[in-house]
Amino acid sequence: MTNAGALENAAPRDDRQHTDHGLERKQQLLDAAAELFADRGYAATRVVDICASAGVAKGLFYWYFPTKGALFAELVRTMRLRLRRAQGDVLDPTADAVTRIANGAEASVRFMADHAAYFALLDVERSDPEFADVLDEGAGVYLDDVRRLVEEGQRAGDIADAPSSLVAVGVLGAVSSFSNSYRNGRLGDNVTVDDLATFVRRWVTNALT
Amino acid sequence: MTNAGALENAAPRDDRQHTDHGLERKQQLLDAAAELFADRGYAATRVVDICASAGVAKGLFYWYFPTKGALFAELVRTMRLRLRRAQGDVLDPTADAVTRIANGAEASVRFMADHAAYFALLDVERSDPEFADVLDEGAGVYLDDVRRLVEEGQRAGDIADAPSSLVAVGVLGAVSSFSNSYRNGRLGDNVTVDDLATFVRRWVTNALT
DNA sequence: CGCCGTCTTGACCCGCGGGTCAAGATCGGT
DNA sequence: ACCGATCTTGACCCGCGGGTCAAGACGGCG
């Protein structure tokens, strides 16, 4: 925690020239870190643990990443891109707003179930001030997406009148709550991803109208 | 982090004999800690910060608490008791299940808005393995409460058929999502607690039926 | 007044873990 | 064979912060 809240200086990095093998090695570190973070939390995972898990010496870590926090940030950004793509894959511009919201919610739930480790990670550091920026930077975008859809649905009369930001929070909250509970096994073993996905779809649709 | 996961040994404490003034001082430390934790997170709050904020020397901290983690645990337990009482206050055994769930949800939202600092705190350390026990210890109870009510409502035909644990997660998730967003100002300033409370009530009721 | 338990202080200790560094190993290119 | 860039190592440095401690101040009670 040398200088909190300032990991944007990861941007003007002296961008190294990585070989293919280098990029592969870097990915190994990212993967190892993601798993360890998810298991034990960010703070409880030492840099040396990540390296051990990837089978390399500690010093090598700093060849690929300027700081521990920078790796985390990179992990977050990667994850966000993938989620966004997953959501885009179910985009159907011809459908009505409620359906599109439900589609997005369902896709998100499935994606989060598939990448449980990654999202456990997000969960962990939500409120660490050091990462507030990187984390919020994304949250707002999704919120806006959903809010726009909500307003569209309200104009069409499919969604009850209420502050659109409230409704959007409700949708996003439902997705993350269900995903969390599923990931933590709080739902029992007899609930499959498909069960969850269809349930979330119905839950959100009900709540909206 | 001397010995993780073992803060139950806070129970067989050499229970000191605190004077009235002593208890008051202890409370000051708890209050100061709660505020700082909420602001900067648990890890980022040093013991010395808590003491400075309470206007006492660092050594005194360990007169009242065996470790930093013990204070946190005490904070969590206190909070839980208060919330439970707030929920009990709106208990109306004559009402139907859906109404009772909505009542509980509304009361919880109001309570969390009133005690924002305390709940920001809970949010912070959700997934720290050191506190997993203390935190889960409570979560399960609420879940069970709601699940029982859900099953009652399903028998009465007021709530759609679906795994009760799923439904319960949905209710609890809605409450916490809305509370979080309100606390973090993501809802904008023109949303009052009353707005939020009534909205949550409607949201949950809609989703249930 | 003198004793004892409660309370209070701040200097000190020390393990932990992030980050550095100087010394190579490895490999493609000329 | 030589060179330079990429890669790899592990010992080392050092600040941070949780926890300890010996020394008192305060206050009630016999």
- How far, in Å, CA of B169 to CA of B186, rounded? 22
- How far, in Å, CA of A180 to CA of B86, rounded? 26
Q: Which residues of A touch B169 (CB under 8 A)?
A: 177-178, 181, 186-187
- How far, in Å, CA of B203 to CA of A171, rounded? 10
pLDDT of residue A74: 94
CA contacts within 13 A on the Cβ side of B14: 3
Q: Which helix (H) or strand (E) holds B47?
A: helix B47-54
**A141–chain B Cβ distance below 8 A for any pair:** no
Please, is A188 exposed, middle or buried when counting C-beta atoms within 10 Å of its C-beta (0-12, 13-18, 19+)? exposed
Q: What is the pLDDT of residues B58-116, one digit of tens each?
A: 999 999 999 999 999 999 898 888 888 888 888 889 999 999 999 999 999 999 999 88
Lowest-confidence range among A12-26, A71-85, A193-207, B161-175?
A12-26
Q: What is the pTM of this model?
A: 0.82
How many contacts (CB atoms, under 8 Å) link A and B? 126
Q: What is the pLDDT of residues A149-194, one digit of tens each?
A: 999 999 999 999 999 999 999 999 999 999 989 988 888 888 999 9
Please, is A128 exposed, middle or buried when counting C-beta atoms within 10 Å of its C-beta (0-12, 13-18, 19+)? buried
CA contacts within 13 A on the Cβ side of A63: 15
CB of A17 within 7 Å of some strand D atom: yes
Mean pLDDT of A131-140: 80
pLDDT of residue A102: 95
pLDDT of residue B119: 79
Residues near B48 by beta carbon (within 8 Å), at least 6 away in sequence: B58
pLDDT level of residue A10 (50, 70, 90 thresholds): very low
Count helices and strands in chain B by DSSP H and E runs = 9, 0
Q: What is the pLDDT of residues A69-102, one digit of tens each?
A: 999 999 999 888 888 898 889 889 999 999 999 9
**A143–chain B Cβ distance below 8 A for any pair:** yes
- Closest chain B C-alpha to A207 CA, distance in angstroms: 4
Residue of A150, A181, A192 best to disrupt the B interface, most CBs of B under 10 A: A181
**Alpha-carbon A98 to chain mean position:** 23
- Closest chain A C-alpha to B98 CA, distance in angstroms: 14
Mean pLDDT of B135-150: 87
CB contact under 8 A, B181 and A173: yes
Q: Which residues of B touch A160 (CB under 8 A)?
A: 202
Residue nearest to nucleotide D17 (CA to C1'): B46
CB of A63 within 7 Å of some strand D atom: yes
CA contacts within 13 A on the Cβ side of A59: 0
pLDDT of residue A165: 92
Contact B51, B58 (CB under 8 A): yes
pLDDT of residue B139: 78
